[in-house]
Each structure stands twice: as C-alpha cells, then as structure tokens.
C-alpha cells in the first residue's frame, strides 16, 4: 500500500461524501494504491451511517467507530494502527483542509525524504477567538520543543509509515505529534503552506478550554520525554536542593544563636524566627520530593516498556 489517508471525525456526516469524492478525484490521478480510513469518534449524528454506506460501495474506504467520544488523539492513534500505507496523511473531515494538497505532501515525504511534513495554514478562515490562542500556543510550543514550525495544530500532515507506528498519541497529544516524532529520533521535519477553507457544514469543536489543556499537555509531554525514564533526576535533584537549603538555613540560625551566647549577648529564640519555619518546611518538602523520585524510579524500573527502544537500523544481526 502506497498511501493511507486517516480522517478523524466527530459529527461530520454532511461533509463526508464530498470529502471522499474529492480524495478519489485527486489521488486517482497520482497512480498509487491507497486507502481512506475514516475514524468516527463516537458521533451522535449520521456519520457512521454515512461511513457504512461509503465503505459498502468503495473498497478504498475503511471505517472505525468508537463507542463514545474519546477525542481526536485516540482517533488518530487508532487510525495510525490501522493504516497500511508507506505514507500516511492525516486531515480533518470538515472540508477546511484541501485534498488538492495531498500530492504535494506525498511528494515531500517520498521524493524529498522528510519523515514528517506539517501543513501551515498561513491564511486562516477562523474567528479571532481561535486564531489568537493558536498563535500563542504555537509560539509557546516552538520555545519549549525546539521544533521550528508555524502551525503545530494543523490537521493536514504527512508521515512516513514508520513514524506513525513508532509513536503513541493519547490524551490531547495530537497537537504535539511533531514534537513526539522529533524526540523519537525522526529529525527530518518539514513544513508546507496549505490552503485553508471556511467551514461549510456544522460548527467548530474548538473551545478556550482546549487552549488551556493544550498548554498543560505541553508541560506534561516535555516532562515525560525529558525525565520519563529517569524521574529521580528531577525529583531527586529538586528535593536535594530544597533539603540543602533548609539544612543550611537551620545551621545558620543555630550558629547565630551560639555566637550570641558565646559573646554573652541576648539571643532570639530560634523558634521565634520565620526563617526557622521556612527551613523546616524546605527540609520536609525536600525529603518528600526525594522519596517521590525514588518511588517513581522503582515504578519506571518495573514498567512493561522499560527496555523498549526504537531500533533504526541493524547490521550483521
């Protein structure tokens, strides 16, 4: 199989027939073998009925249906698992992504050797309530991840098949697939300016809560990839610093007390000084953080995937 198109969707029954028709028209002229994987994320409209009808008439169309709405990331993850293409292209089902972009994205992966190509909606047809948070989100993601893309959240992306089978997308991590792929060693990440059309049917699923959750997910994924296999390096180091600070402050208070007594001067009670309680809290928190790191390291050590690594190549084995 040369190409897989993975389309996650939720309540998009009106746009599906037109989307599939456009994909057939575009991909049919490319001379490749392909499949269209439609992943219904627990829609409560006629989406699954439409998918069933399309799949019954067309062998290229395949469908997956969730029992309830889980979110875009699980839908993409299941679509990736089911895909068989050497190149996998994802796009949204609302017709805002243009199927005419598929040949260009396919060519960048196959001919130019990119592991991943992300679309860039340079001209967006979205309300300010969506575009402004998106700009802030993209800026923050570039700073944290080190991946220089203009539009991380664009649904139109192309991947080598190896990429989608090497990564796991969960929660709301679909926004950070380029970051995830980069940390897994897929460093050839490109970008392509793509067309963005106004929504024709239904309504947007975007809300400001997704922007807040997206930032929290960014912090989570950064922590997981940096300290996921060595949590003691984070909790242990932070706990040690807290304990050393608390111990040093306590030592200074006691030394100051003894110095006053040695000089026969009135000395304030150690317990009457605010710094004593700050130092005590710092030592307690430091011990707790160190213990948390130790426990987290034990959990990671006994995890089922502790020895799972992505092997890029082998010679002589």
Q: Mean pLDDT, to the nearest integer, of 16-39?
A: 95
The kind and range of the H/E element at 157 are strand 157-160
- Determine the longest span between alpha carbons in the chain, in angstroms: 98
pLDDT-derived band at 278, boundaries 50, 70, 90 = very high
Among 89, 88, 91, 94, residue whose Cα is nearest residue 11: 94
In angstroms, the CA 182 to CA 28 distance is: 32
Calculate the CA dihedral of residues 17, 18, 24, 29 and round it to 10 degrees.
170
Terminal Cα-to-Cα distance of the chain (whole angstroms): 27
pLDDT higher than threshold 60 for residue 196: yes
Q: Which residue has the higher pLDDT, 284 or 125?
A: 284
Strand ranges across the sheet with 61-65: 61-65, 34-40, 3-9, 87-90, 157-160, 116-120, 189-193
What tokens were used for 314? Answer: 């082998």
Question: What is the CATH number assigned to the segment(s) 3-227?
Answer: 3.90.550.10
In angstroms, the CA 114 to CA 261 distance is: 73
pLDDT-derived band at 30, boundaries 50, 70, 90 = very high
Among 257, 251, 256, residue whose Cα is nearest residue 283: 251
Among 73, 3, 1, residue whose Cα is nearest residue 39: 73
Among 209, 117, 211, 112, residue whose Cα is nearest residue 155: 117
Percent of the chain, pLDDT > 90? 50
Q: Are 228 and 187 in contact (CB under 8 A)?
A: no
Rg (CA), the chain: 26
201-219 pLDDT, tens digit per residue, is 666 655 556 667 777 777 7
Percent of the chain, pLDDT > 70? 89
Name the E strands within 168-308: 189-193
Q: Are 170 and 159 in contact (CB under 8 A)?
A: no
Q: Mean pLDDT, to the nearest integer, of 70-83?
A: 93
141-189 pLDDT, tens digit per residue, is 888 878 888 888 888 999 999 999 998 887 778 888 998 898 888 999 9
């Amino acid at each position: 199989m040369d190409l897989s198109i993975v389309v996650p969707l939720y309540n998009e029954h009106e746009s599906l027939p037109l989307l599939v028709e456009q994909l057939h028209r575009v991909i049919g002229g490319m001379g490749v073998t392909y499949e269209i994987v439609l992943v219904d994320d627990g829609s409560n409209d006629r989406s699954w009925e439409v998918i069933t009808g399309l799949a019954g008439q067309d062998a290229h169309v395949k469908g997956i249906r969730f029992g309830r709405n889980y979110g875009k990331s699980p839908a993409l993850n299941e679509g990736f698992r089911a895909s068989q293409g050497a190149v996998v292209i994802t796009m949204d089902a609302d017709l805002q992504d243009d199927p005419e972009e598929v040949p260009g994205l396919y060519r960048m992966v196959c001919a130019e050797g990119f592991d991943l190509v992300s679309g860039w909606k340079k001209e967006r047809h979205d309300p300010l309530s969506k575009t402004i948070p998106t700009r802030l989100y993209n800026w923050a993601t570039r700073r944290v991840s080190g991946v220089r893309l203009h539009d991380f959240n664009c649904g139109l992306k192309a991947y080598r098949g190896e990429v989608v089978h090497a990564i796991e997308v969960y929660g709301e991590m679909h926004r950070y697939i380029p970051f995830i792929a980069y940390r897994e060693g897929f460093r050839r990440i490109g970008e392509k300016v793509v067309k963005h059309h106004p929504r024709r049917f239904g309504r947007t699923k975007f809300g400001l809560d997704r922007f807040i959750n997206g930032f929290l997910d960014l912090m989570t994924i950064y922590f997981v990839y940096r300290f996921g296999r060595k949590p003691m390096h984070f909790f242990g180091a932070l706990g040690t610093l807290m304990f050393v600070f608390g111990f040093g402050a306590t030592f200074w208070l006691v030394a100051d007390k003894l110095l006053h007594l040695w000089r026969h001067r009135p000395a304030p009670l150690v317990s009457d000084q605010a710094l004593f309680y700050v130092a005590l809290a710092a030592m307690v928190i430091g011990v707790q953080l160190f213990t948390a790191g130790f426990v987290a390291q034990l959990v990671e050590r006994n995890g089922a995937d502790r020895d799972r690594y992505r092997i890029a190549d082998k010679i002589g084995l």
